[in-house]
Amino acid sequence: MVDCEGVSMDAQVEKERGDEEKEGGQSKSFLSPQLKAMIRIKKKYLKRSNSVRSSTNSAVSDGSLHPKSPQTRKSKRRRSRVLFPNNTLIFRPKKERSGAKPFLLLFSVIVFFQVYNAIENLDDHVLKYDLEGLERSLHREVFGQPEALEELMDHLNDYLSTYAHQKPLALSLHGSSGVGKSHLGRLLVRHFRSVVDDKLVVHYLSKHHCPLQDMAQHCASKLAHRISEVVTQADEEEQIPFFILDEVELMAPPLLDILQTFLQSNQTNEFLNVVYIFLSSLGQREVTAHVLQNASTNGAHKPLRRALSLIHPLWMEPAVELIPLSLLEREHVIQCFLEEMTLEGFYPEFSQVERLADELAYHTAAGRQYAKTGCRQVVGKVNLL
């Protein structure tokens, strides 16, 4: 519309000019000065817009100004900006907050407290049995068995740190005569009776509880009844019972069969929370040969288990952990003499102790002397003083 009006007005002005020229310039125009000024402004605007349009078309045709060029996009972005007055409040849309973050935070806090409570419960179980005190007592009173004692305490710490288990714990200690098996058993009985109920700690001696082999079946039934009774009481009190069985090498097959049934993992829960400690001289030949060859009990578990499996399948159960006891060296025998003489009220003279130690028989291997009978003869020799 604007273009058409501009063209008509121009045509009218040209016609008027022609008429005026025809009249010789004598007549005046009938247009007002205001209208003339508007026509001049319109002509300038049309001329400028036509020049800009022609330059843009030529640039697009040459490829110098593409519709998607940075200059074009910049001009579009500038035109798309919306200006607000200074005194106008701009309300931005609120971002939707995800509900997953609070949930994850709450879940992390719950997991942290559960782990913390579990650690506290483990500490409570270990403190209840005073295993640190037991370890100090064993290292102080049992000579020449640092490896065996460390292995024993590792098993007890792992098992007694919690109450629920998948299988019972059976620790089977094997060594030759005089290395301290029975002494170790008495120390364990004394300690556990001081931290739990006396009735939950059973000290079974084969010679005392079943002296006759023809009564083996009767002894087996009595032992099974005793174990069931103690385990039931321990389950009611939410404690772990202990069975220390000494002189296992004297047990008849029916007794070993009964013990094997209690080591199965397919039992009720109360029979899975039990600690059995077997003390035996079975396999002493294999342990002695390994110690004389290697000066240590490390690696003696395989030949020991192989030898025990030929005696009874009890020692092939997964719940049974074998702990070989080493031979005692001469210095350990001297410690036994010093302790026994002190208990008997003798003033121990070192020269006298060495003389007594020299009276014993020894194995010699790799420059070391191992007592063949350990400290077994110490008490008898001290009593002869």
Q: What is the pLDDT of residues 262-283, one digit of tens each?
A: 999 889 999 999 999 999 999 9
3-class DSSP assignment, residue 344? coil
* Placement of tokens 């593409």 in the chain: 66
Pairwise CA distance, residues 189 & 208, whole Å:
16
Transcribe 87-127 into DSSP letters: T----PPPPPPPSHHHHHHHHHHHHHHHHHHHHHHHHHHHH
Determine the average pLDDT of the residues in 65-83. Answer: 53
2 vs 195: CA distance, rounded Å:
109
Share of residues in the chain with pLDDT > 70 (%): 75
The set of residues, in sequence order, having a beta carbon less than 8 Å from that of 265 and lying 6+ positions away, is: 166, 167, 272, 318, 319
What digits encode the pLDDT tens for the residues 207-241? 899 988 888 999 999 999 999 999 999 999 889 99
Q: How confident is the model at residue 316 (pLDDT cuts 50, 70, 90)?
A: very high
On the question of pLDDT at 65 being above 50, the answer is no
Cβ-contact 314, 320 below 8 angstroms:
yes
Is pLDDT above 70 for 79? no
The model's pTM = 0.68
Mean pLDDT of all residues belonging to the chain: 82
pLDDT per residue as tens digits for the range 4-50? 444 454 555 455 455 544 444 444 455 677 777 778 787 877 777 77
- pLDDT exceeds cutoff 50 at 1: no
Instruction: Indicate the pLDDT class of residue 374, thresholds 50, 70 and 90.
Output: very high
Q: What residue spans define the domains of the chain?
A: 127-324, 330-383
- pLDDT value, residue 73: 53
Asked if the model's pLDDT at residue 174 lies above 90, the reply is: yes
Task: Note the CATH number of domain 127-324.
Answer: 3.40.50.300
Q: What is the pLDDT of residues 143-153, one digit of tens each?
A: 999 999 999 99
Give per-residue pLDDT as tens, 334-349: 999 999 999 888 888 8
What pLDDT is attached to residue 221? 95
